[in-house]
Amino acid sequence: MIISRPFELGQDQSSPNKNVFPITAELDELGRMMIGGCRLSNLAEIYGTPLYVIDEKTLRIACRAYKEALRNYYPAASLPLYASKANSSLAISNIVMSEGFGIDVVSEGELITALKAGMPGKNIVFHGNNKSSRELLLAYKNDVTIVIDNHHDIDQLNYIVNSTEKKARLILRLTPGIECHTHEYIRTGHLDSKFGFDLEDLDKTLVKLKNLHWANLIGLHAHIGSQIFELKPHQDLAEVMVSALHKAIEIGHPVTDLNIGGGLGIKYIDSDDPPSIANWVEKISKSIIDSCKKRNMDYPRLLCEPGRSIIATAGLTLYKLGSRKNIPGINKYVSVDGGMSDNPRPITYESTYTACLVDKPSAEPQESVNIVGKHCESGDILLKNYPLPNSSSGDVLGVFGTGAYNLSMSSNYNRIPRPASILVSNGNAELVQKRELPEDLLRYDILPDRFIAKG
Q: Which of 38, 292, 356, 376 is catalytic?
A: 376
CA distance 149 to 137: 16
Please name which of 19, 117, 99 lies closest in space to residue 61, comparing C-alpha atoms. Answer: 99
Please answer whether residues 173 and 222 qualify as being in contact, where contact means their C-beta atoms are separated by less than 8 angstroms.
Answer: yes
Would you say 339 and 49 are in contact if contact means Cβ atoms under 8 Å apart? no
Read off φ and ψ for residue 153, nearest 5 degrees: -60, -45
**DSSP-derived secondary structure letter, 2:** P
Q: Which of 411, 249, 278 is nearest to 343 (CA)?
A: 411
Rounded to the nearest 10 degrees, the angle between the axes of helix 202-210 and helix 232-251 is: 40
For residues 291 and 242, the answer to whether their CB atoms sit within 8 Å is yes
Q: How far apart are CA 298 and CA 135, in angstroms?
A: 34
Q: 352, 315 in Cβ contact below 8 A?
A: no
**Distance, CA of 428 to CA of 36 (rounded, Å):** 8
Residues 455, 452: Cα–Cα separation, whole Å: 10
The SS3 of residue 425 is strand
Omega into 50 within 30° of 0, i.e. cis?
yes
Residue at 215: amino acid letter: A
Helices (H), 26-77: 40-47, 56-73
Helix, coil or strand: residue 84 = helix
| 356 part of the active site | no
Q: Report the alpha-carbon distance of residue 62 to residue 82 in Å, rounded.
A: 11
* Number of residues that this document lists for the chain: 455
223: β partners: none
According to DSSP, residue 209 is labeled: H
Q: Which residues are catalytic?
A: 376
